[in-house]
Amino acid sequence: MTDQTSELLWWQRGVIYQIYPRSFMDANGDGIGDLRGVIQKLDYLAETLGVDAIWLSPFYPSPMADFGYDVADYCDVDPIFGTLADFDELLAAAHGRGMKVIVDLVPNHTSDQHPWFKESRSSRDNPKRNWYVWADPKPDGSPPNNWLSVFGGSAWEFDPHTGQYYLHSFLKEQPDLNWRNPEVKAAMFDVMRFWLRRGVDGFRVDVAHFLMKDPELRDNPLSQGGLALYKPMGDYDSQIHLYDKGHPDNHALYREFRAVLDEFEAISPRMSVGEIHISDWHEWATYYGQNNDELHMPFNFALINAPWRADVVREVVESVERVLNRGQQPNYVFSNHDEHRIASRIGEQAARACMMLLLTLRGTPTMYYGDEIGMVNGEIPPELAQDPWGKRVQGLGLGRDPERTPMQWDDSPNAGFSPSGVRTWLPVNPDYPTRNVKVQLADPRSMLNLTRALLKLRRESPALHGGAYRTLSGDAHTYVFERTAGDQRFAVAINFTEEAREVALPSRGEVAISTEMDRAAEPTAERLTLRPYEGVIVRL
């Protein structure tokens, strides 16, 4: 990697912050977050925190069977979130503060309430019939093949009106589009242009590896057990998903997808990041494209459910570094709207070291709202559960409500998310009086002030936001790596355990930041003792 970090594009040097709009800030007092709420908090994001881009989870009109990932209109805003004018104001206000805006694109499926699907299911000879994946029953009336829904049960739903089944890789309310139909491609590329013309800086592409299916609709082979990709998913794990996702034809499609983004490149650099759950590193990396002409980045989820062990984390990082070719940008993420919060998974002390790791590895980090204050999973009683996955596939802990609770802004009732007395869409975590933005801003050693210091150092340091990476040392307990650009050098040393550990450094230096926030400018020798779960950045 070149040391010329000044040539990096915004998405290569910046930090992305994911906002789940329902849960970020409620401006109109109905218990549900909205776009005007995001506008109210842009100063916090740009100035107080210091992130470079925001990614907004879906805000499109939707019946909300899967909280917005069932889209009924790709080119508008759901009234619960606001209006298109609110979105335009948000975009202009973010750009005015130097932040980029990424929106969620949900191309695999629509809502069953989308006008396209209503037409498609109206008759077998409707012009939009082939916009979705329809197939005849088997002679005994059963589904066309053995494909399964991620959310449980068959991936096929019988439509008695036309006597055929339609495919839904997720809920039956989320019919899959037929991306082999050129009309579907043209329509969805026009959706992209609609948002790109408005000034959107990029797309996060939902389930990006699902789009192309086997045209012959062949049965998936059965697995021999132990196939859970990154967490047990019930019956879904009983198959090798050879024909219903990860199809080789995705690659030609993403070259076309990239060409649409490139139409706008002369105005300002745009980007795409794809949600891709593929465990084989070489196959995962193919989504960058042989000529770096597909997705700008496939999301790297390997650390989301990895155990908090130095050797495991180091192996992931080194695997990424090995597999990527020139011009391919690594990226890391530890939390999102589908996975339990990092502080709940590994503990609050380790979460501080994890934030240091996220913001110092080579590549693009994506943070999840609330992680900067160490938010933990909410406990949602069954009668208040909202997530369809948790309701349909019970007993595996797949419900996603705990990581979607409202952002904790202050110690007022409802944590400053909604006015006092309003029932919020999910209950606010009861720890909000002591864990919130306001109280942590006043505590110099808080998780929030650690995150702010890390973001500031990263932004100011070419070695951290764009320099080369090299592993220095490590075992099962500690991980030490170096970031360099020109004559700027940092060593990052992290203790993954609850015991003090000694690590070797390549030379003398001084502490830039410790996760304990109490060692700044402390001189370091070539041996350094790390306290339990401590991370230290050393300026060499």
Whether 255 and 217 have beta carbons less than 8 Å apart is answered as no
H or E stretch at 254: helix 250-262
Show the 3-state SS of 4-25.
Answer: CHHHCCHHHHCCEEEECHHHCC
Residues 6+ apart with CB under 8 A from 139: none
Alpha helices in 365-510 (DSSP H): 388-392, 437-441, 447-460, 462-466
Q: Pick the catalytic residue from 73, 88, 249, 263.
A: 263
- In the block, tokens 């019956």 appear at 235
Alpha helices in 140-181 (DSSP H): none
Rounded Cα–Cα distance for residues 114 and 315 (Å): 44
Backbone angles phi, psi at 435, to 5 degrees: -120, 95
Residues 6+ apart with CB under 8 A from 319: 281, 302
Whether 194 and 203 have beta carbons less than 8 Å apart is answered as no
Handedness of CA 71, 77, 79, 80 (dihedral sign): positive
Identity of residue 344: S
Q: Is 206 a catalytic residue?
A: yes
The C-alpha angle with vertex 10 and arms to 369 and 359, in degrees rounded to 5, equals 50
By three-state DSSP, how is residue 389 classified? helix
- In the block, tokens 């439509």 appear at 159
Q: Which of 322, 311, 316, 319 is nearest to 334 (CA)?
A: 316
Torsion of CA 111, 116, 121, 124, to 10 degrees: -150
* 426 token code pair: 């999910």
Q: Pick the catalytic residue from 52, 206, 244, 294.
A: 206
Rounded Cα–Cα distance for residues 30 and 377 (Å): 23
Q: Is 262 a catalytic residue?
A: no
Residues taking part in catalysis: 206, 263
